[in-house]
């Protein structure tokens, strides 16, 4: 049986909108799943481990949330594209274009059918109710939802539609919006059971339901019965797209109706202008001339020979040419030479009865301020005819676009400079790529093509995260998920305006070569300061840096080989060590005298110490002070005997006399602490002292214990060891390594550094004292003193 020991929930954002009863800025959440940790036996899980599990669950939740947000962005972008196409259709054929052309309203949101009721005519797409049923639904909406501009439901039966059962299993969900009082849009969905397939255990005819549990197949059938009259729910972003289309259609229909109304008014006005006789004609002509003269737009006219015979106040104001000087001049002499061909072709076509629209040309000016730069006009040509329909002149209704053209020319120059930089093959231009505000790749210069092997057209309009750079099936593969997440964070920081520094970045080019570089991300802003995307610049390593990286890689390979050798040595040492331990245990079962038992106990202590050292695989945790000490009761004499025994062979070989001036009562003290780590420390400092003691010298060990009472039952012991040796002493370079201030550490330096860190874990420290002819290691630790039981 498994006992759950920790359950962590994975919570993701439900949507972008905020709940009305939630705090400001707080997003609606929903449970995505659970992460459950099990133990096969009862076990207490410490707080750091539980906190680490919660942290991992939170990181996983953030990752899931980012993936879901990316999916939603892709789907919303698709909806926005479809909505844009529908709007374009509405501009040409409103509103029937959204059902008669492709894409249509069924492409806007996921549905099985859709319909448009416009001017009492029904236009249907896909799987929909009959015309009679649609009108029945419309009557129900007008009766029970008259105050609403629409309705969305995943079950017409639950919504109270009386004819829901008559629809059968085909139609369950509906989204309807009102365009006008008599025009509606509908979307329909099948029941959810049509979208769900069995994915569980294989069907076993022998399994039957009983009172305690339900068979999976029966449970699935029961679930299908529950969702039989219910479709998939309408998501928020789908409803946003539907309501947006509703508003667009409503405005388009209003504009169409307004246009028809204006057309009717114009026709009515023309019908009212029944000119009777020359007097009425003269009055109308005079009024038209007055309107032209006082118009706020430039208007001019020429006869069939191209001579100017009309020149209103606005065109005279723009050009600085008075009416009396313009009348009678040929029109081609007033335009710029660069526009003469365009104007000549327009005059020729107009004389043939063909009226051109939106023709742009430049006309000369004669301003008194000295500014003779031409002005830009966009004109529509209107042919004047006599009663026999012969062309007698041409009228030009113009619009001054000089300021707009100046701005556009400036923008064109800036855009040209921008394009010249991005598309310049100069090797000094770094690799550059970029995205729009939705994350689609929009820039990819020639340097990126050369670096990655992927041409511009292969990556443009692809998602930068996932399709261009990703860990699976991407153009430029990334090493791991961590690089993918770091790239996403850098892009997000740039979009939100946070200052981002250069970050290390690496990817696999098309050739399989791994490219290492530095990435710098900057955002793009439009004229209003809104973010329109990001630019990414890659800085490749110089040859010197590449050489340094290569050397570093070689060092890493060498270190990896050493780690393998070390792992091999550690593994192979354990086998003979196990044999030694077994032999010792066999000897303990024999009859031994007192001296033999002491030697055997010393050997056991050394074996335990060796086992402890072989288990030290993470030196960084010791150096950083995160090692857990194994606390137990021990006698000081056992630790000293085992420590001194480890240097006796070397000291005897050099003729060094080892003297331990220790009081008998101190040796019999029972202390509480990590005896093996204390034994390791003393042995290391004894060995270093022996190494730097001249042959025939002397090595002395002295210990002292000071007790402090903490309450009535606990005593804290301040234990101090003094290891004194003759000679010149330990070199300063080695001592610097012990204190962590030296350069590259030697084997002895690492040993002293680890030993000092162990002493610090015991609330102590190490000092080195130099005197005339001798030097001393002073090692102090704090241990608890075990009170001896007295009769």
Domain boundaries, the chain: 3-78, 93-198+223-258, 295-407, 424-540, 617-785
Q: Give domain 295-407's CATH superfamily.
A: PAS domain (3.30.450.20)
Determine whether domain 424-540 maps to CATH 3.30.450.20. yes
CB 470 within 8 A of CB 439: no
Handedness of CA 411, 414, 416, 419 (dihedral sign): negative
Of 458-462, 466-470, 586-590, 687-691, which gets the smallest average pLDDT? Answer: 586-590
Q: Give domain 93-198+223-258's CATH superfamily.
A: PHY domain (3.30.450.270)
List residues bridging with 516 in a β-sheet.
Answer: 506
Going by C-alpha positions, the residue among 341, 184, 164 that lies closest to residue 253 is 184
Between 176 and 429, the higher pLDDT residue: 176
Per-residue pLDDT, averaged over 30-47, amounts to 74
Per-residue pLDDT, averaged over 675-689, amounts to 89
CATH number listed for the domain at residues 617-785: 3.30.565.10
Handedness of CA 350, 351, 354, 355 (dihedral sign): positive
CB 676 within 8 A of CB 630: yes
pLDDT tens, 326-339?
888 888 888 888 88
Q: Which helix (H) or strand (E) holds 434?
A: strand 432-436
Find where tokens 């080195």 sit: 768
Per-residue pLDDT, averaged over 79-103, amounts to 71
pTM above 0.85, yes or no: no
Task: Give CA separation, 272 vs 266, 276, 282, 289, in Å.
Answer: 10, 11, 17, 20
Q: Is the pLDDT of residue 276 over 60?
A: no
pLDDT score, position 80: 76
- Would you place residue 475 in the very low, low, confident or very high pLDDT band (cuts 50, 70, 90)? very high
Q: Is the pLDDT of residue 507 over 90?
A: yes
pLDDT tens, 203-246?
555 666 555 555 555 665 666 666 667 788 888 878 888 888 88
**Range among 3-12, 80-89, 614-623, 698-707 with highest mean pLDDT value:** 698-707
Does the fold of domain 424-540 match that of domain 93-198+223-258? yes
pLDDT score, position 726: 92
Between 197 and 228, the higher pLDDT residue: 228
- Would you place residue 22 in the very low, low, confident or very high pLDDT band (cuts 50, 70, 90)? very low
- Would you place residue 20 in the very low, low, confident or very high pLDDT band (cuts 50, 70, 90)? very low
Mean pLDDT, all residues of the chain: 80
| E strand map for 364-477 | 375-385, 391-400, 432-436, 441-444, 469-470, 476-477
Would you call 172 helix, strand, or coil by DSSP?
A: coil
pLDDT score, position 18: 43
Question: Strand pairing of 184-189 and 375-385?
Answer: unpaired
Of 125-129, 421-425, 761-765, which gets the smallest average pLDDT? Answer: 421-425
pLDDT score, position 780: 93
Of 10-14, 121-125, 210-214, 346-350, which gets the smallest average pLDDT? Answer: 210-214
Per-residue pLDDT, averaged over 603-616, amounts to 77
pLDDT score, position 2: 43
Between 266 and 775, the higher pLDDT residue: 775
Q: How far apart (Å, rounded) are the C-alpha atoms in residues 307 and 300?
A: 11
Task: Give CA separation, 678 vs 32, 594, 780, in Å.
Answer: 51, 25, 11
Q: Is the pLDDT of residue 603 over 60?
A: yes
Cis previous bond, 95, omega within 30:
yes
pLDDT score, position 463: 92
pLDDT score, position 209: 55
Q: How far apart (Å, rounded) are the C-alpha atoms in residues 407 and 757?
A: 71
Q: Please count the other Cβ atoms lying within 10 Å of the Cβ belonging to residue 152.
A: 17
């Amino acid at each position: 049986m498994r006992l759950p020991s920790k359950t962590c929930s994975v919570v993701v954002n439900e949507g972008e909108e905020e709940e009305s009863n939630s705090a400001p800025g707080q997003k609606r959440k929903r449970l995505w799943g659970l992460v459950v940790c099990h133990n096969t036996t009862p076990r207490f899980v410490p707080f750091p481990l539980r906190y680490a599990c919660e942290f991992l669950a939170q990181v996983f939740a953030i990752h899931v949330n980012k993936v879901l947000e990316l999916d939603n962005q892709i789907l919303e972008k698709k909806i926005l594209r479809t909505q844009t196409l529908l709007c374009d259709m509405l501009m040409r054929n409103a509103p029937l274009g959204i059902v008669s052309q492709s894409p249509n309203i069924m492409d806007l949101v996921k549905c099985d059918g859709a319909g448009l009721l416009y001017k009492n005519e029904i236009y249907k797409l896909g799987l929909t109710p009959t015309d009679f049923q649609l009108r029945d639904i419309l009557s129900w909406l007008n009766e029970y939802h008259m105050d609403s501009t629409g309705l969305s439901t995943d079950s017409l039966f639950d919504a109270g539609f009386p004819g829901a059962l008559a629809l059968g299993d085909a139609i369950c969900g509906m989204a309807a919006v009102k365009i006008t009082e008599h025009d509606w849009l509908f979307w329909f969905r099948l029941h959810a059971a049509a979208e769900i397939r069995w994915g569980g255990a294989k069907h076993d005819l022998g399994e039957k339901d009983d009172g305690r549990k339900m068979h999976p197949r029966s449970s699935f059938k029961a679930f299908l019965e529950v969702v039989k009259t219910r479709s998939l729910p309408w998501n928020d972003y789908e409803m946003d797209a539907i309501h947006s289309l509703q508003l667009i259609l409503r405005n388009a229909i209003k504009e169409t109706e307004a246009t028809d109304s204006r057309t009717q008014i114009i026709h009515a006005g023309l019908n009212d202008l029944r000119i009777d006789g020359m007097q009425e004609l003269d009055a109308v002509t005079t009024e038209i001339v007055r309107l032209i003269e006082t118009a706020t737009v430039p208007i001019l006219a020429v006869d069939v020979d191209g001579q100017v015979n009309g020149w209103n106040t606005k065109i005279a104001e723009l050009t600085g040419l008075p009416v009396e000087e313009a009348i009678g001049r040929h029109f081609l002499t007033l335009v710029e030479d660069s526009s003469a061909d365009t104007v000549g072709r327009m005059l020729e076509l107009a004389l043939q009865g063909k009226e051109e629209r939106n023709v742009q040309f430049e006309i000369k000016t004669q301003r008194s301020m000295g500014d003779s730069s031409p002005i830009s006009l966009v004109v529509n040509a209107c042919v004047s005819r006599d009663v026999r329909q012969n062309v007698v002149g041409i009228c030009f209704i113009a619009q001054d676009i000089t300021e707009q053209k100046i701005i556009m020319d400036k923008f064109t120059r800036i855009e040209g400079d921008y394009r010249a930089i991005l598309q310049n093959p100069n090797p000094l231009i770094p690799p550059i790529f970029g995205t729009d505000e939705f994350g689609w790749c929009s820039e990819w210069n020639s340097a990126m093509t050369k670096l990655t092997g992927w041409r511009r057209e292969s990556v443009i309009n692809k998602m930068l995260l996932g399709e261009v750079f990703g860990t699976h099936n991407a153009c430029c593969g990334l090493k791991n998920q961590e690089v993918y997440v770091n790239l996403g964070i850098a892009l997000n920081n740039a979009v939100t305006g946070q200052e981002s520094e250069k970050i290390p970045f690496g990817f696999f080019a098309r050739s399989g070569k791994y490219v290492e570089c530095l990435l710098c991300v900057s955002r793009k802003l439009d004229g209003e300061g809104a973010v329109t995307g990001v630019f990414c610049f890659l800085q490749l390593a110089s040859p010197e840096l590449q050489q340094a990286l290569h050397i570093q890689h070689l060092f890493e390979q060498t270190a990896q080989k050493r780690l393998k050798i070390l792992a091999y040595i550690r593994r192979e040492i354990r086998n003979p060590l196990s044999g030694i331990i077994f032999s010792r245990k066999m000897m303990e079962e024999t009859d031994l005298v007192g001296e033999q038992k002491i030697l055997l106990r010393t050997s056991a202590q050394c074996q335990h110490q060796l086992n402890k050292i072989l288990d030290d695989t993470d030196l960084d945790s010791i150096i950083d002070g995160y090692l857990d000490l194994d606390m137990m009761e021990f006698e000081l004499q056992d630790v000293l005997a085992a420590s001194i025994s480890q240097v006796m062979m070397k000291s005897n070989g050099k003729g060094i006399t080892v003297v331990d001036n220790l009081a008998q009562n101190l040796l019999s003290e029972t202390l509480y602490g990590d005896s093996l780590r204390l034994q390791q420390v003393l042995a290391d400092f004894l060995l270093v002292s022996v190494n730097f003691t001249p042959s025939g010298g002397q090595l002395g060990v002295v210990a002292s214990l000071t007790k402090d009472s903490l309450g009535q039952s606990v005593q804290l012991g301040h234990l101090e060891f003094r290891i004194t040796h003759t000679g010149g002493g330990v070199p300063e370079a080695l001592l610097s390594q012990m204190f962590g201030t030296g350069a590259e550490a030697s084997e002895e330096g690492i040993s002293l550094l680890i030993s000092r860190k162990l002493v610090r874990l015991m609330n102590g420290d190490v000092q080195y004292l130099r005197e005339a002819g001798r030097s001393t290691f002073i090692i102090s630790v704090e241990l608890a003193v075990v009170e001896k039981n007295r009769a």
